[in-house]
């Protein structure tokens, strides 16, 4: 049972890492597009949602480190 929970925790950490790296690359891409032209409404929404997700993830990590 404990081994299964450990595997699930590792998978969660890996998926979070993949999400963060992929999102960072997409935000960087959107930032470069924004320099060339204005973003479409969909691109603006994606940009805002990803940046908000980064802030939430950072806040969650800080809470886990300092308060748990």
Average pLDDT over every residue of 53-59:
89
Residue 49's pLDDT is what?
92
The closest of 5, 1, 13 to 64, measured between CA atoms, is 13
Residue 16's pLDDT is what?
87
Residue 1's pLDDT is what?
60
Tell me the pLDDT tens digit for each residue of 2-49. Answer: 777 888 888 888 998 998 899 999 999 999 999 999 999 999 999 999
Average pLDDT over every residue of 36-64:
91
Q: Which residue's entry shows tokens 């998978």?
A: 11
Q: Residue 50 CB: number of other CB atoms within 10 A?
A: 18
Radius of gyration of the chain (CA): 16
């Amino acid at each position: 049972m404990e081994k299964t929970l450990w595997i699930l925790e590792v998978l969660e950490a890996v998926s979070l890492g993949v999400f963060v790296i992929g999102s960072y690359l997409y935000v960087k891409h959107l930032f470069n597009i924004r320099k060339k032209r204005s973003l479409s409404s969909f691109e603006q929404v994606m940009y805002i949602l990803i940046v908000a997700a980064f802030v939430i993830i950072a806040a969650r990590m800080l809470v886990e480190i300092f308060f748990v």
